[in-house]
Chain A
Amino acid sequence: KNQVEQSPQSLIILEGKNCTLQCNYTVSPFSNLRWYKQDTGRGPVSLTIMTFSENTKSNGRYTATLDADTKQSSLHITASQLSDSASYICVVSSASGGSYIPTFGRGTSLIVHP
């Protein structure tokens, strides 16, 4: 069964600090990996997408890495802001029969304190 595991489950940091969120997956066949940000009461919004051949992707203060050999990804947030408080979800898509069914992790809940 395809699975995506994220750690830590929750994280509290001070404004201005950096943090790194982890994602391990067992999804086959692998198509791509996305990191989403989900604010409370809202739908997820995509931050980054990486395919098999990519090992790093940046979007402003967000940098995602992918190690396809170890099936691990990380999301690094630099100089955190209060607005970064949200759930960060790792999603791995598997290609099967022409459709791409995503498997979602449970998310890491990040709280940024002033």
Chain B
Amino acid sequence: GAGVSQSPRYKVAKRGQDVALRCDPISGHVSLFWYQQALGQGPEFLTYFQNEAQLDKSGLPSDRFFAERPEGSVSTLKIQRTQQEDSAVYLCASSLAVAGLDYEQYFGPGTRLTVT
């Protein structure tokens, strides 16, 4: 079946522009995570949704970062007034979560954002 997809795969933005990154999780997956992966680093947690509820956004680096999942499926990560330090790969992962139990996360290919 289809895996997690992300679009666009590559995005170049001029400093100060707003960007929107999309994640299509695996159908039926309850949980959705966003991660930021800088070059040569491991992914860093940004935010987590269970259905449409954003349960944890402690990893968002500033108030310029905003994520939503209004219908509990597709999610969008929006970055306002992009800065050069926002350049990274943004990974999305989804899982078939059952409350109170851990689960396997399936990752998308990521969106590589370059801010010039």
Contacts and interface: CB of A to CB of B under 8 A. Distances in A.
Contacts of B35: 104
A106 B42 contact: yes
A112 B41 CA distance: 20
A44 B40 CA distance: 14
A89 interface: yes
Interface string A71-114: 00000000000000000010101010011111111110000000
B39 to A, nearest CB: 11
A91 B103 CA distance: 13
Interface residues of B, number: 24
Interface residues of A, number: 24
Contacts of B108: 43
Choose among A43, A100, A103 the residue with the greatest number of B CB atoms under 10 Å from its CB. Answer: A43
B4 A43 contact: yes
Contact of B103 (A100, A105, A107): A100
The SS class assigned to the B binding surface is loop
B43 interface: yes
A106 B44 CA distance: 9
A46 B55 contact: no
B99 A98 contact: yes
Contact of A46 (B41, B44, B104, B110): B104
Interface of B: 4, 35, 40-45, 48, 50, 55-56, 91, 93, 99-100, 102-105, 107-110
